[in-house]
Structures are given as C-alpha cells and as structure tokens.
Chain A
Amino acid sequence: MLFELKNVSHIYMRGTPFATESLRGLSLSIPQGQTTALVGPTKAGKSTVVDMLAGLIKPASGTLLFEGDDVFAPSFDIERIRSSVGVVFQSPEAQIFEETVGKDVSFGPRRKKVPLAESRRLVKESLEAVGLDYEDFRSRYTYALSGGQKRRVAIAGVLALQPKVIVFDEPSAGLDPRGRRELLELITRLKQQQNLSIVYVSSGLDDVISLADTIYVLDRGRLAFHGTPREILAHADELAALDIALPEAAQIAVTLRETLPNIRTDVLNLDELETEIVRNVTIEAQSTIDKAG
C-alpha cells in the first residue's frame, strides 16, 4: 500500500477569518500498481489531498501513512515522499522553469545526483515515452513550445524522476476534445508500458471511468462513496446531487430510464450502451406483447 489516509482532517487558512475545513475525517488508500481516481466538485478537498500526497503539507489531524510509515513520526523524512511521488499539476507552464527542454526534463535526475550518462538516458526515454523526439526537442526553448507540447514536457520531467506513483491533478481541464483524447491515450500508454501507479484527480467521471481501478468520490472534505467504475455508476442519482457529471454513456442511460425502466446505468462506453438498450427494448417489447396477449 503506497498511501493510507485514516480519518484525515485539514483546515485551510487556519487562524485567519477565512479559515475553512478542507478535509473532514477522510479515509482512503492508494495501492501500488493501480490507478486510483479522486473525483469531486470544487471545494471537495481534492487539492488538499494532492498536496498531502506530494509531501507539501501534513494533515492537521488523523494519520497519513506512506509505505506503512507514519508521516508524523519524528524520524520520517518528508524527502522520501517528494522523491517517490511525481505530480503533474493543472497548468503545465507552472512546472517548467528551465530554458531548454533537455535541461528541464533532466532537472529531477540532476537533483538526485544521477550520473550524466544515466541522466541522458532517462531524459531520452522520458521524452520518447510522451511522444517527443529526443534529438529534435532537447535543445528547444521551453517558452517557444505550444501548450500541448509543454504539457508533454512536464509529464516527461516527472517521468524522469522515476517516481513510484504519478499524481495527475485535473490534467484535462481546459483542453479541447482532441487534446483530451491525446492526453488520455498518453496516460493509458504510460500505464501499460511502464506499469505505473497513478492517482488521477478530476471533477468529472468522463476521464477516469475507463482508466481507473478504484474511484473515490469526495464531497466537501468527506468521502461520499467509493468502488470500481461500475459500482460508482450505479450511484447515478447521488452523483447528480453532487453535481458530478456522469460519463456520456451513463448519462444517456439515465435519461432513457423513463422509457426503459430497467436499463442499467453502469455502462462504460457506446458499445455497452447499445447492447444494453437493445436488450431492454427487447424486454420491454416482449412485456408489452405479453400484456396485450
């Protein structure tokens, strides 16, 4: 188990007139080798959890375990978390600060005092993993990159750290449909090729429904419910109450419930939806015939 949060609470802007409880008694676990999603509307506490996973803040109360060790123990070195956890934040521009792509991506390995040859190999592999050609991009100026390229460079920079887990903080926010598709393809590819542990934070279910193994739904600092993607989709009404958008397929299923009352809402994609509709139409048609007959 990589991370375990037990009954964690946190107060944002503690001691000021603007203080608010960002987390109240939240418990969740991030296992190794899996993709865990944290979903919730704004002010649900997601950013606070990300900050904790990144080793930037400690909870005000409760227990936070990293690889089984208590983060609050005096012997615990926060550096352990920071060097094992890579975070890709919402706006990649914020994470890039070196002049050239090569320098920026190699920042992680350099800090870890990795020897030059090894560092170069890491940079090459990381850039290639995100679909950027090493020779072409390594001496390009970072400020001259497009938004999409910057995003990839930021991810490459995190990969070069060889982290145990990568946290993606609302990475598709503000992207157009094609950008979103490309990003999800990239993450899926990374997941498969590198067997990464991933934590994906988002405000909607669209991205994570096919990506995640476990989804935690947060509401105002508390855990509302959690489960596999299918289990989550069964909570369609509660999700609507929390203003969390259902993925397209499930949303359509919910709308069709009036006409097809027994339709299952835990459909993950178009194919499943189509099959489910056909199945239900057959059932409904049959029952109409039975009633008439």
Chain B
Amino acid sequence: MIELSRDITFGQYINNGSQVARMDPRTKLLCAILLIILFSFLSSFLAFLVCLLFCALLQWNSRIPTGYVLRSFKPFLGFLVFIFCIEVLFYTSATQNKTLLWHWAFLNVSWEGIIRSALTIVRVLFLYYITSMLLFATSLVDLTDGMEALLSPLQKIGIPANAFVMVLVIAFKFVPIFVTEVERLMKAQAARGVRFDQGNFIQRTRKIAPLLVPLFISGFKRAETLSVAMEARCYGGRPGWRRSKRRKLSFDRYDALALGLTLALCVVTVVINFVSPV
C-alpha cells in the first residue's frame, strides 16, 4: 500500500507547543551541535547509556509520540545492518590483539570487531535521533533565525550565510510537498498497472526512474515560480541590501536549563569515556 507520507517523516515540524519546541533556536542549535560533537567523540557504551537517559528526558519533554520518532528510523535500518556486517567482516585493528572467532581468507570476525562496529552503529543512531528531534521540534522560521544568528559572524565578513540558510529552509519546506507528489505519481502509475512492490532490487529501481523525471520537472517549475514570487516581494541581492527581522529571540530560564544540562552531560560522559573500561 502506497502511503509514503506516513513513512517518510524526516524534517516534519510538529507544532505541539512543548517547551522544547518553544526554546530559543540559538540555544537549541547550540545544544544540538554540542551533542553531535559529543556523540561523534564518545567511544564508551556506558557513556552512551547515560546519553540514552538524557535522550529519554528530551523525548519526554518534547511531547512527540515515541512511536512516530522510532518509525522515522525505519527507512535506513536495513542499511545499518548491512554496514555493521561489512565493518565486522573487514575489521582490522591498529594493535594486533584480536580474539578471532572465525576467519576465512581475508574476512574475519573478532570480538573487537563486533564491539567497534556496534559502537559505530550506536553512534549513528544517536546522531540521527538528535538531528530528527531538532527538526521535529523546531519550526522552519526558528531554524532560519537560529542559524542566521549563529552564522552572523560569517555574514559580517562577507560570506553569504543568510542566503545559504534561506536555501536550506526552502529545501526543507518542499520535502513534504514532494513526498505528496511522489505519492500521487506512484498512485497514478500503479493505477496503470505498475507494481512497485514486485520484482527484484534492480527491477524495482528501474521502476523508480519514470517517477524521477516528472518530479524533477515539477521541482524546477515550483522553484521558478517560488523564486519569482519571492523576488516580487523584494527578496533579492542588491548592493547594500539587508533584511530586518520581525521576531525577537529571547533567551530565558528553560534555555539556560537546557544548555546547562547539555554541558553537564558532556562533562559527565567525557569523564566516563576516559575512566570506564567498557
């Protein structure tokens, strides 16, 4: 059954008025960046366990249904399993202290291999979670404002960070629109007898091809109309042009709490990372 909108949930802002949703976007982005750096750095399962507690707290505070978030992992779980297997089989360690469980020619399975690969997977899952949550809980306008604010030093030295941010924002705005369109295209072709759920991998991929052309054409048309509409509302590069802002960002108690907690998490987990054996 073709119901893409249900399965493709990346980037969809959920406006539920939770505290997380209403945070100052600068703080949210800052925390997200800190967490991303942290997750990329950590190499201890115990540390990640503590992170899991933090994420649970975040999940609860965001008031976004857990099932919905977990379903957003669905599209690439298969891919992750595949990566895990490859990593394990081809694992080579810097030190040659390997406890081999099995080997055949240049493939081997070792405890270290399994642990290291599992760590990578855990890391990817956490990174995806934080990015998803950031997008679920932040409206596009918040994202723009937050990114612009954080990138303003770049803007001052002449790098067009604001334009870049605008590009991202519009790309995100169109994700759900394109999902609906692909769904429509698939239904139209399915009604003509194209079976998207049949055939091997290669056959199925070939069936995607005729969807791409109409999608691209539609995408370009929309892009053109939208850019014309934006220009008609005076968005555009002219010498000395600067946009002003209606919204004022305000940093309040909850933001300080969130930032504080994030920093605390960083400290605690880094310590655990160095100290813990696992």
Touching chains A and B, CB distance < 8 Å: yes
> In the complex the two chains form, is B16's CB within 8 Å of A17's CB?
yes
Chain A interface, >50% SS class? loop
Residues of A within 8 A of B190 (CB): 54, 56, 82
Q: Which of B71, B187, B214 contacts A89 (CB 8 A)?
A: B187
Q: A57, B3: Cβ atoms under 8 Å?
A: yes
Given contacts A17-B14, A95-B191, A107-B192, 7 further A-B contacts (CB under 8 A): A16-B6, A16-B71, A17-B64, A17-B68, A89-B184, A94-B185, A158-B192
Q: What A residues does B64 contact at CB under 8 A?
A: 17
Q: State A51–B3 Cα separation when bound (angstroms).
A: 11
With A17-B14, A17-B16, A56-B1 as known contacts, state yes or no: A95 contacts B188, CB within 8 Å: yes
In Å, the complex CA distance between A250 and B6 comes to: 42
Cross-interface CB contact of B5 among A13, A83, A87, cutoff 8 Å: A13
A93 interface residue (CB < 8 Å to B): yes
User: Which residues in A have their C-beta under 8 angstroms from that of B213?
Assistant: 97
CB of A178 closer than 8 Å to a CB of B: no
Q: Is the CB of A111 within 8 A of B193?
A: yes
Q: Is there an interface contact between B3 and A13, defined as CB atoms closer than 8 Å?
A: yes
Query: Does A40 have its Cβ within 8 Å of any Cβ on chain B?
Result: no
Q: Residues of A contacting B14 with CB < 8 Å?
A: 17
Distance, CA A89 to CA B190, complexed state (A): 11
Please determine whether B189 and A95 come into contact, CB atoms closer than 8 angstroms.
yes
Contact of B188 among A15, A89, A161 (CB under 8 A): A89
A29 to chain B: closest CB distance in Å? 21
Contacts of B271 in A (CB 8 A): none
How many angstroms between the C-alpha atoms of A89 and B67 in the bound complex?
33
Could you mark each residue 10-27 of chain A with 1 if its beta carbon is under 8 Å from any beta carbon of chain B, else 0? 000111111000000000
A158–B64 alpha-carbon span in the complex (Å): 44
Q: In chain B, residues 173-190, which have Cβ atoms closer than 8 Å to a Cβ of chain A?
A: 184-185, 187-190
B3 contacts A87, C-beta separation under 8 Å:
no
Q: How many A-B pairs with Cβ below 8 Å?
A: 69
- A97-B210 in contact given A13-B3, A13-B6, A16-B6 (Cβ < 8 Å): yes
A58 within 8 A of partner (CB): yes
Interface secondary structure of B, over-half rule: helix
Interchain Cβ contacts under 8 Å between A and B, 28 examples: A13-B5, A15-B68, A15-B71, A16-B9, A16-B71, A17-B14, A17-B65, A51-B187, A56-B2, A56-B187, A56-B190, A57-B2, A82-B190, A83-B193, A86-B191, A87-B191, A89-B187, A93-B214, A94-B184, A94-B185, A95-B188, A95-B192, A97-B189, A107-B192, A108-B192, A108-B193, A157-B192, A158-B192
Query: How many angstroms from the CA of A89 to the CA of B183 in the assembled complex?
Result: 13
Q: How large is the interface on A (under 10, 10 to 19, 20 to 34, 35 or more residues)?
A: 20 to 34
For A82, give its contact among B185, B193, B210, B214 (CB under 8 Å): B193
Q: Which of B1-25 contact A (CB under 8 A)?
A: 1-3, 5-6, 9, 14, 16
| A-side contacts of B189, CB under 8 Å | 94-95, 97
CA distance A87 to B191 in the complex (A): 6
**Cβ–Cβ < 8 Å partners of A107 in chain B:** 192-193
Chain B residues lying within 8 Å of A95, measured Cβ to Cβ, are 188-189, 191-192
Known: A56-B1, A58-B1. A89 touches B191 (CB 8 A): yes
8 closest A-B pairs by beta carbon, nearest first, are A97-B210, A94-B188, A87-B191, A54-B191, A95-B188, A89-B188, A111-B193, A94-B185
B9 proximity list for chain A (CB < 8 A): 16
A82 and B6 within 8 A (CB): no
B257 to chain A, nearest CB (A): 25
Q: Using CB atoms, name the residue of chain B closest to A54.
A: B191
CA distance A93 to B221 in the complex (A): 14
The digit string for A38-69, where 1 denotes a CB below 8 A from any CB of B, is 00000000000001001111100000000000
- A15 near B191 with CB under 8 A, answer no
- CB < 8 Å: which of B65, B191, B210 contacts A56? B191
Assembly CA distance A145 to B16 (angstroms) = 46
Question: Which chain B residues lie closer than 8 Å to A18 at the CB level?
Answer: 5
Cα separation A83 to B1 with both chains bound (whole Å): 17
